[in-house]
Amino acid sequence: MKQKTTLFTIACCLLTLNGIYSQKKKSNKQIENLKSEVAAIVEDNKKQSQVMVDKIFSFSELGFQEIESSKYLTGILKENGFEIENSISGIPTAWFATWSNGEGPVIALGSDVDCIPKASQYPGVAYHKPIVDGAPGHGEGHNSGIPMNISSALAVKQIMERENIGGTLVIWPGIAEELVAAKAWYVRDGLFDDIDMCIFTHVGNNLGVSYGPTRGTGLISVEYAFEGEAAHSAGSPWRGKSALDAAELMNIGWNYKREHLHPLKRSHSIFTDAGDQPNVVPSKAAIWFYFRDIKYEGIMEMYALANDMAKGAALMTGTTMTSKVLGTAWPRHYNKVIAETMYSNIKEVGLPKWSEADQTLAKAVQTEVNSEKIEGLPIKLDTIGMPVIDPISGGSDDIGDISWKVPTVTLRYPSNIPGLQGHHWSNAIAMATPIAHKGVVAGAKVEAMTILDFLLKPDLLKDAWGYFNNEQQKETKYQPMISESDMPPIYLNKGKQDQFRPALEKFYYDETKYDTYLEQLGVEYPTLKSE
């Protein structure tokens, strides 16, 4: 049963795909003037952007544990007139924030907020220096995306109110993106049924956008749990049935299978339960897999093979097996019309002006982690990303599910350093520095200008849906990988976050006392490794 929300109860917010909103028509010159103005508003509000970026960085919250981050961000949005719906899709830290100015397009702005285990890092320091040793940290850069969306939305809202431009803005977080464990539930529960288009944002090292099938994979995340019989490991081991033996046999079997997987398929696993102590035959054990492929069919093929292998491991050990889907992500497909419109704004905004300190930090970090190129931050814009003809394997993002529900693009903005390995403490170094702050401002300008394009040029939205219906879905139709009974695994990461939260709290950014988080931490920017 679809979750019914209160977000779109105002009848004037709804779009029929065959109709066109009755906006007061503005000339191209008027639209361009408004776009220049909205970019200027974003620039004027860059202090607020910086504070938000630094604040979320300091919270350092893992997926499903984004308690402080969500409370802080929704507080800002509520103060600015947005209606907040909390705990969507049964996820305590998930929320949708909605503001409407009457009849017009419903435009969703999304980004992620969670961080990476064991990635704690002092920003602006070009070598490994954890804020709290072993703690989570923003080694992906997800502290910047929602602040960017808020910056652009508030600037657009100001223009919409003054010019009486109809439309609705919806801001939402990608909770637990590193677990790909929320967005498929949003889609399943009907949260995008009344959305007309979606702009997703993700930290990058240049300002860019792409359309069509993209580089990377989709995936299904599955945990296999085995249950056997405990016994004394020395006194009567023959009376036990080791669940760990079953989990290990499945792992061995899958590793042998790797030789026969297509090169575009990828999988990885960890043991989530491997017994309690050596002198007790483990009665319970579990192993957690990601199965990735560039196509939905390939993902499900791997999933079916793994299910059979898990059953076989249980048979070999006399144990029982259950499995649980913990997350899914469809392969991404982005909208051509939105991407081309956005890219014209990217060219207008251009890259930030990097300081000597910015470039010094970037090159020092690249040197520290042995990057292939020691070139610092980009000084030339990327070209628009074209559809991938020759598929390339790689990472996943559950924005893929939403991209098959409504016309969607991902705006990449230059808040991190090129050439780093990802999911690593080095990726946190730039994320509360002027590099991140400048990148967020540039991205917010592009996003705000693009929103105005789609609010004021009704044919653009019609064309975006034309591409979505006639091109994107010509051969592929979305099928959810989760069932109506699958629930998001909101218990994940609780123990890890609870372990480190008291120590991290001492380092939360206090913007009432310090201009920047660097100042609060006493970091001289940039701090380089002494020879």
pLDDT at residue 24, as a whole number: 77
Same domain, 56 and 186: yes
Same domain, 47 and 163: yes
Same domain, 61 and 178: yes
Same domain, 438 and 513: yes
Tokens of 151: 């910056």
Residue 494: domain span: 26-214+331-521
Indicate whether 104 belongs to any domain. Answer: yes
Domains of the chain: total: 2
Tokens of 287: 């192993």
**Closest to 193 in 3D by CA, of 5, 345, 34, 29:** 5
- Which of 302, 328, 354 is the last residue in one of the domains? 328
pLDDT at residue 2, as a whole number: 35
Same domain, 64 and 195: yes
Residue 411: phi and psi, rounded to 5, are -90, 120
Q: Residue 479: exposed, middle, or buried by beta-carbon count in 10 A (0-12, 13-18, 19+)?
A: exposed
- 3-state DSSP helix/strand/coil % of the chain, to nearest 5: 40, 15, 45
Same domain, 307 and 414: no
Same domain, 240 and 149: no
- For β-strands 106-112 and 197-204, DSSP reports them as parallel
Q: How many helices (H) and strands (E) does the chain have?
A: 14, 12
Q: List the CATH number of the domain containing 396.
A: 3.40.630.10
Same domain, 37 and 181: yes
Give the separation between CA 500 and CA 509, rounded to whole angstroms.
Answer: 16
- Which of 294, 328, 362 is the last residue in one of the domains? 328
Same domain, 261 and 154: no
Same domain, 302 and 383: no
Indicate whether 342 belongs to any domain. Answer: yes
Residue 213 vs residues 3, 231, 297, 391: alpha-carbon distances, Å: 30, 52, 15, 9
Indicate whether 527 belongs to any domain. Answer: no
pLDDT at residue 470, as a whole number: 97
Same domain, 260 and 208: no
Same domain, 253 and 308: yes
Mean pLDDT by 10 residues, the chain (531 residues): 38 41 81 98 98 98 98 98 98 98 98 98 98 98 98 98 98 98 98 98 98 96 98 97 98 95 95 97 98 97 98 98 98 98 98 98 98 97 94 94 98 98 97 98 98 98 98 94 96 98 98 98 96 63
Indicate whether 451 belongs to any domain. Answer: yes
Residue 221: phi and psi, rounded to 5, are -105, 120
Indicate whether 163 belongs to any domain. Answer: yes
Indicate whether 414 belongs to any domain. Answer: yes
Indicate whether 42 belongs to any domain. Answer: yes
Q: List the CATH number of the domain containing 310.
A: 3.30.70.360
pLDDT at residue 22, as a whole number: 54
Indicate whether 3 belongs to any domain. Answer: no
- Which of 272, 307, 328 is the last residue in one of the domains? 328
232: which residues sit within 8 A by CB, 6+ positions away?
A: 279, 280, 281
